[in-house]
Structure 1
Amino acid sequence: MYYSSDYSVGQFYDDARQATRCILDNGRVPIVTSGTGLYLRWLIYGKPDVPKASKEIASEVSFELADLERNGHWDAAVQLVIKAGDPKAQFLAANDWYRLRRSLEIIKSSRSPPSAFEVPYDSFHKECDSSVVDTNDISSSADVVEEVKSKELDYDFI
């Protein structure tokens, strides 16, 4: 399998899920090692339901930010994305141009900031937390969390 320099977490998710299914179909157990927390969270909990930008929107965003990036005007680029509708852009790590571009793509694709979309990892843990009623009863809490996990996750991750 060939990976370009633009390999994304979304592509990883698709590839890893396909490989997992193939390995399981052959009666084997897949083992995942290494990777960033983001990639592993997506593999385990699923993709967020965030729109993928069309090629036109991606080009428009790249063009819009190109001069700012080329000239090192990070703060001006952040202000542009904030004005477009993502106030949380100010909290991005300095010079994280990929995430800044992605935020603007999401806004232009959906008219909503990235924070408007549910992240499966967060919703899964909220559901687990709300299902656990008596946190003093450890055995009961563990049973409820296991029940929620078995209902929500595609695979039994260890």
Structure 2
Amino acid sequence: MFRLLFKSVVVLLLVFFIANYLIYLKTGQMPLRDMRERMGDDWLVDLRELLSPNQLTADAKQVIKGVADEYSAPEPAAKTKVYKWTDANGQVHFGDKPLASGAEQIEVEVRNAISAPEAASRISDQQDAAPKVSVQESALDKARAAAEAMKQRVQQQEQAQ
């Protein structure tokens, strides 16, 4: 492992110095010397400040805050076209396509159409039956309840059509 690392470093240094020499042959300037002159004498101090733990921590916090701000913004509401009509029996119907001639269009804002049912009563019942309920079980119960609610909703929509 050490030999591989050593060989890699040697190859990188050779490539770096050969590239420097080729640039010298092409332009007549020494990139390493010019770089050292441009950076000045305190380049090491600048590098230490740039890589200091305090600066790295501040940069990481700034990046995390930016990502959190980007993803914590509320989701924009999607407008959905819904049609409402009343049949001959006086029953009101809703649908995504107008099935009657007198259907009126209604705009509905849909954000998160699936909501988990109230978990407080279900958890208190479970706590009476079993004294110790883990967080994973309650999360699993919430997911199952949401899936069941979605299934019932799909069945209701299919029956309406």
Same fold, TM exceeding 0.5? Answer: no
Length-normalised TM-score, structure 2: 0.20
Q: Bigger relative contact order, structure 1 or 2, given CA contacts below 8 A and separation 6+?
A: 1
Length-normalised TM-score, structure 1: 0.20
* Structure with greater Cα Rg: 2
